[in-house]
């Protein structure tokens, strides 16, 4: 054990020396719980390593850090993170990026606090930008918005319905028979239900859409299961009794107007983000200037549309009325009337919302809070530092040819304390020299697409500020 510890310390010191040589670095951390139930986070460092073969981008694991004090978890984590980096001999003033799990609420108190850790670190080290996977961020935005009680309950019911039919061949066949009729009558090609994934909201959108399209089939299949159990009478088996009880409970739940309206609202909101989520997960996407702009444009477009709902009562009423019409149509098939849930003087398990009519009540209790939370989360997770990150991309060889010096200014201003020279004339001369290099580059197909490749092509003695800026592009 002692020998392993000595080897570990030696390897760790070698990695730290490489990081110090690179100067700037990014920190990556994520939470885990070991078999003894001790909370800890793994610490990795991302940096540029230079050897005889040129520049290489590396991500090296450094250590596991146990966290025993979770009182004020975010501050405890931030303090532990800083203490660990300092104990390893790393200069916190050279920290330029942070990457943590972006979730706001997980099963672990520590994991949920990482979202706030980055802001605590940035208060002391403002150039340590927090970045996170764009697709995952969008998932988390939707997850944040889905904390609206009715939406959360609806997703729980959807999961129960999918599980109920998916875990039994007998129940699944009953549903399939109903779905065949649906396909023959309406040409809707729904063959089965999809259990949604907790983290991939593209799949959740598909699951919700299938439930909405096949609502009548699901309700009728649940009735069929109850009828089969009743007809069996004395010969009914224990499993059939359980099926009858569960089917009856699920049928009562989905045939409430509050569930139907939450289902249709979720379908609408997930539909707005579906294409964007697919785009962010596509295999061709790279974090280039064009992609950064397109992502920004799409995100701002979505944010603007959501803002229109909130700023204009007419827009919210108009769009929600369409949702209500669809919900009422579904409810009419099973005698479900649009009604306001029963109100009492003291309500502990649900908030009180105004509303003289069911439409007004559900608009204020479901639609507006969902839209508001989604919009706020999109702004928080995507808009921050978008200008700086997009500006950084203009220095890439494939982008600089069609860019001017003004486009890099936001990034140069943000990182001005890291540059060798802040004189604008000198910086512009370097820009022109770097741009000329790629304008006259003969083989356009071999133009570096990644910052690490561009670094290998950048002469540090001729363009020291361009070189430094490329380091922050990795």
3 state SS for 156-182: HHHHHHHHHHHCCHHHHHHHHHHHHHH
> How would residue 103 be classed by pLDDT, with cut points 50, 70 and 90?
very low
CA-to-CA distance for 319 and 89, rounded, in angstroms? Answer: 57
**Mean pLDDT calculated for residue range 319-335:** 89
Residue 14 CA to chain centroid, in angstroms?
35
Residue 346 has what pLDDT?
Answer: 60
Residue 283: the pLDDT is: 54
User: Tokens 């039994």 appear where?
Assistant: 168
Could you tell me the two tokens for 1?
Answer: 């054990």
Q: How far is CA 473 from CA 25, 116, 354, 395, in A?
A: 11, 24, 50, 9
Q: pLDDT value at position 426?
A: 92
Rounded mean pLDDT, 348-359: 69
Q: What is the pTM of this model?
A: 0.65
Q: What pLDDT, on the 0 to 100 scale, is given for residue 203?
A: 65
Ordered by start, the domain boundaries in the chain are: 2-131, 145-383, 386-471
Count other Cβ atoms within 10 Å, centred on residue 394: 22
Task: For the sheet with 95-100, list strands across it.
Answer: 54-66, 39-51, 25-33, 95-100, 129-130
pLDDT band at 291 (very low <50, low <70, confident <90, very high): very low
Q: Which residues contact 26 (CB under 8 A, 6 or more apart)?
A: 45, 46, 47, 95, 96, 97, 98, 99
Q: What pLDDT sits at residue 95? A: 93
Residue-wise burial string across 150-160, b where 16 or more C-beta atoms lie within 10 A, e elsewhere? bbeebbebbee
- Cα–Cα distance for residue pair 407/386, rounded to 1 Å: 13
Domain 2-131 class in CATH: alpha beta
CA 296 vs CA 129, 332, 387, 392: distances in Å: 17, 42, 9, 14
Q: In angstroms, how far is CA 406 from the centroid of its own chain? A: 32
Model confidence at 148, pLDDT cuts 50, 70, 90, reads confident
Percent of the chain with pLDDT over 70: 74
pLDDT score of 120 more than 60: yes
Give pLDDT tens digits for 200-230: 656 677 788 888 888 998 999 999 888 877 7
Residue 327, H or E segment: helix 313-333
Residues 348-363 have a mean pLDDT of 73
Q: pLDDT value at position 249?
A: 92
* Angle of CA points 222, 223, 224, to nearest 5°: 90
> Residue 371 has which token pair?
């839209």
Q: What per-residue confidence (pLDDT) applies to 122? A: 87
């Amino acid at each position: 054990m002692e020998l392993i510890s000595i080897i570990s310390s030696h390897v760790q010191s070698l990695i730290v020396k490489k990081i110090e040589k690179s100067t700037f670095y990014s920190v990556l951390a994520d939470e885990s719980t070991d078999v003894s139930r001790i909370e800890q986070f793994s610490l990795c460092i991302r940096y540029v390593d230079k050897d005889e073969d040129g520049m290489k981008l590396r991500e090296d694991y450094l250590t596991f850090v146990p966290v025993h004090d979770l009182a004020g978890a975010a501050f405890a984590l931030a303090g532990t993170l800083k203490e660990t980096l300092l104990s390893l001999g790393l200069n916190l003033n050279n920290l330029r990026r942070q990457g943590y799990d972006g979730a706001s609420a997980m099963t672990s108190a520590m994991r949920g606090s990482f979202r706030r850790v980055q802001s605590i670190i940035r208060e002391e080290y403002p150039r340590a930008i927090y970045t996170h996977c764009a697709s995952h961020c969008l998932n988390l935005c939707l997850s944040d918005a889905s904390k609206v009680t009715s939406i959360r309950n609806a997703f729980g019911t959807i999961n129960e319905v999918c599980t109920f039919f998916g875990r039994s061949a007998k129940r699944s066949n009953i549903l399939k028979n109903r779905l065949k009729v649906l396909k023959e009558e309406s040409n809707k090609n729904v063959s089965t239900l999809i259990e949604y994934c907790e983290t991939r909201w593209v799949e959740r959108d598909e699951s919700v859409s299938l439930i909405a399209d096949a609502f009548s089939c699901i309700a009728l299949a649940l009735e069929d299961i109850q009828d089969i159990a009743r007809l069996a009478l004395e010969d009914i088996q224990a499993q059939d009794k359980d099926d009858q009880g569960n089917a009856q409970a699920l049928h009562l739940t989905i045939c409430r107007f509050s569930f139907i309206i939450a289902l249709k609202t979720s379908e609408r909101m997930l539909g707005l983000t579906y294409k964007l989520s697919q785009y962010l997960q596509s295999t061709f996407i790279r974090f280039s200037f064009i992609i950064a702009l397109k992502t920004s444009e799409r995100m701002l477009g979505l944010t603007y549309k959501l803002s229109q709902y909130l700023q204009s009562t007419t827009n919210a009423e108009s769009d929600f009325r369409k949702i209500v019409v669809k919900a009422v149509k579904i409810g009419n098939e099973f005698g479900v009337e649009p009604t306001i849930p029963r109100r009492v003087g003291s309500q502990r398990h649900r908030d009180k919302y105004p509303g003289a009519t069911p439409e007004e009540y559900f608009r204020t209790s479901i639609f507006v809070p969902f839209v508001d939370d989604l919009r706020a989360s999109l702004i928080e997770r995507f808009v921050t530092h978008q200008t700086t990150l997009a500006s950084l991309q203009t220095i890439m060889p494939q982008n600089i040819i069609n860019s001017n010096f003004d486009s890099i200014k936001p990034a140069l201003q943000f990182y001005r304390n890291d540059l060798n020279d802040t004189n604008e004339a000198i910086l512009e001369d370097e820009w022109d020299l770097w741009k000329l290099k790629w304008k006259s580059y003969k083989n356009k197909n071999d133009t570096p697409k990644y910052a690490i490749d561009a670094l290998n092509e950048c002469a540090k003695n001729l363009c020291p500020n361009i070189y430094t800026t490329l380091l922050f592009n990795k």
